[in-house]
Amino acid sequence: MRCCVGLCEFYIVKFIYTIDPNEAKPVILINKHIGRITNARGEMEDGVMGEQLQRELLELERLGKEGVEIWINSPGGMVSDGWSIYGTIRNSKLHVTGLNIGIAASTAGWIFEACHERIMMDYSIVMMHNPHGDEAGQKEYTKSIATMLAARTGKKNNDVVKLMKATTYMTADEAFKNGFCDIVRESNGVEVIAEAHNMAATADSFWIQGNEILNSILPVKKHKMNQVTNLLNLGDDASEAAIIAEIRKLQSRVNEMEDAEKENEDKLNEYETELAALNKRHEAEMAALKEKYDALKKANDAAEKARNEDDCCNMVEAFVNVGRIKAETKEKWIHTARTLGVAEAKTLLESLPLNIIAPKPLDAAQREGVKTLVTSVDEWREEWEDKMVEKSKR
């Protein structure tokens, strides 16, 4: 029995931030920091806890409430608690009207943007900045928050990132012009402290000023819209805020597509630059290889020429040594070997007669005959060379 009682108590949702859950349209207050923070005294202090507010919203949905109002006057707080609240607002069936009664700063600002209908008092402020704390995950946190704000305002993610980086404050009129709210409600003559529009003021000062005039707020005036909503797949009784929200949702999708296209173009340009660098490096490597090849070929040709010269000289010298040709004709035969090649010149020299018997002294007539014979041999050699040259040309 005790276990059953404990189980029942576990599922009972205690309303902490909801003023009266029995109202047809209950009011929820976010009127202090969000999540658990360390206060000025160094103590841990609970603000509006994301898990608790999440449970209250879901319980109001379970109770059959069609909508709720969230009155916001907060300097912001923990991102994780903000995610819980933002995600629940966007995914529950409740129609959530957000009312900025002072300042919706930092995390409170994008919780305000999550609401289906966003109303700002004419004196109120919204503020956005980069998340603080976890430096390792700051880039991802910033991207996440920018995605949420862009989806609800119709702005491009990059533009939202710039606003966050600059720590941007907006008055109600500026927020309306830039898509950060749907309706600006007049405070009906309530005197507002001048510093409320001073962008140099802190989020905490706006929060305090908002609390001072909280009790002066008049009931929300209902605005009926007679615009055609078929193109947006909305009901005939859709409010102007709902229409604007749908239009901004479509604009956000267009912006996302444009961002994706720009990202693809940047990647394509990056690839083209990389390809050009690779081609340039390839051309340089090819030029270096060709230069190396030419140098090696030149050296090889020089070595081949030197070897051929040595072969010609050695071959002719060998024939001189065996007495087949005279020493004084050596240079002519070397020239012949260069022209015809060593093999052809060697064949030619081997075909010459070799006289290995020492000749007897010759008389004048014999010497004249020998002279004539030598002349004939030289003429025959020159004729042979000419024929070989002609043959090589053919």
Highest mean predicted confidence (pLDDT) among 92-96, 133-137, 197-201: 92-96
Provide the token pair at 135: 């430096």
Going from the C-alpha of 196 to that of each of 172, 191, 220, 325, the distances in angstroms are 11, 11, 22, 121
**CA nearest neighbour of 36 among 26, 27, 48:** 48
Q: What is the pLDDT of residue 201?
A: 42
Q: What is the pLDDT of residues 35-44, one digit of tens each?
A: 988 777 878 8
What contacts 259, CB < 8 A, 6 or more positions away? Answer: 156, 157, 158
Provide the token pair at 319: 């024939």
Of all helices (H) and strands (E), which one includes residue 370?
helix 364-393
Among the listed residues 74, 106, 205, 239, the single catalytic one is 106
What contacts 43, CB < 8 A, 6 or more positions away? Answer: none
Q: What is the pLDDT of residues 254-308, one digit of tens each?
A: 877 888 888 888 888 889 888 889 898 889 999 999 999 999 999 999 998 888 8
Report d(CA 288, CA 271) in Å as an integer: 25
Going from the C-alpha of 36 to that of each of 39, 78, 88, 94, 128, the distances in angstroms are 9, 7, 19, 26, 20
The dihedral formed by the CA atoms of 157, 145, 234 and 254, expressed in degrees to the nearest 10: 10
Strand duo 67-74 + 117-121: pairing: unpaired
The dihedral formed by the CA atoms of 134, 138, 140 and 146, expressed in degrees to the nearest 10: 130
CB-CB neighbours of 131 under 10 Å: 20
Q: What is the pLDDT of residues 316-345, one digit of tens each?
A: 888 888 888 888 888 888 888 888 888 888
Q: What is the pLDDT of residues 201-237, one digit of tens each?
A: 445 545 555 555 554 444 444 444 444 466 666 666 6
**CA nearest neighbour of 127 among 151, 91, 163:** 163
The yes-or-no answer on residue 282 being catalytic is no
Q: What is the pLDDT of residue 2?
A: 46
Average pLDDT, the chain: 80
Does domain 2-222 correspond to CATH entry 3.40.640.10?
no
pLDDT at 199 over 90: no
Domain spans of the chain?
Answer: 2-222, 295-393
What contacts 232, CB < 8 A, 6 or more positions away? Answer: 238, 243, 246, 247
Report d(CA 338, CA 303) in Å as an integer: 15
**CA nearest neighbour of 204 among 169, 162, 253, 250:** 169
Report d(CA 110, CA 85) in Å as an integer: 10
Q: Within a 13 Å sphere around the CA of 75, how many CA atoms are in the beta-carbon half? A: 14
Among the listed residues 116, 129, 205, 239, the single catalytic one is 129
Q: What is the pLDDT of residues 125-143, one digit of tens each?
A: 999 999 886 666 788 889 9
Highest mean predicted confidence (pLDDT) among 75-79, 197-201, 337-341: 75-79
Report d(CA 364, CA 218) in Å as an integer: 154
pLDDT at 191 over 50: no
Provide the token pair at 253: 């999708």
Going from the C-alpha of 87 to that of each of 80, 144, 282, 391, the distances in angstroms are 11, 12, 53, 96
CB-CB neighbours of 19 under 10 Å: 12
Unique residue bearing structure tokens 């004084």: 328
What contacts 303, CB < 8 A, 6 or more positions away? Answer: none
Q: What is the pLDDT of residue 113?
A: 95
> Would you say 149 and 129 are in contact if contact means Cβ atoms under 8 Å apart?
no
The yes-or-no answer on residue 197 being catalytic is no
> Would you say 28 and 56 are in contact if contact means Cβ atoms under 8 Å apart?
yes
Report d(CA 346, CA 356) in Å as an integer: 19
Report d(CA 105, CA 207) in Å as an integer: 9
